[in-house]
Amino acid sequence: MEWLKQIVTGIDNNTVDVARVLWIIGTLSFLSLSAYDIYKSGHFDMANFALAYTGLLTGGAVGVRIKAITEPEQK
């Protein structure tokens, strides 16, 4: 589970980064709700999915980058 710790913590690998945690939760929620919608409706629009998923990933990356400014310097 060391890989999970490295994903959700900041540069020091000790401080939990809220932006990364929220990004992971948002991505898992988006994928789960998309799968449920496909299951219920049987319809999948790749263009809309790709556009929404791109927005989610871009927003998460911007959030993590903005949050990185507040992290302590690496020694």
pLDDT in tens, 65-75: 998 888 777 76
Backbone angles phi, psi at 21, to 5 degrees: -65, -45
pLDDT in tens, 19-71: 999 999 999 999 999 999 999 999 999 999 999 999 999 999 999 999 888 87
Contact 67, 19 (CB under 8 A): yes
Residue ranges of alpha helices (H) inside 1-75 are 2-8, 18-41, 46-68
> pTM of this prediction?
0.80
| Alpha carbons 42 and 26: distance in angstroms, whole number | 23
Domain ranges in the chain? 19-75
For the chain, the C-alpha Rg in angstroms (whole number) is 16
pLDDT of residue 38: 95
| Alpha carbons 27 and 56: distance in angstroms, whole number | 7
Closest CA to 31 of 57, 10, 8: 57
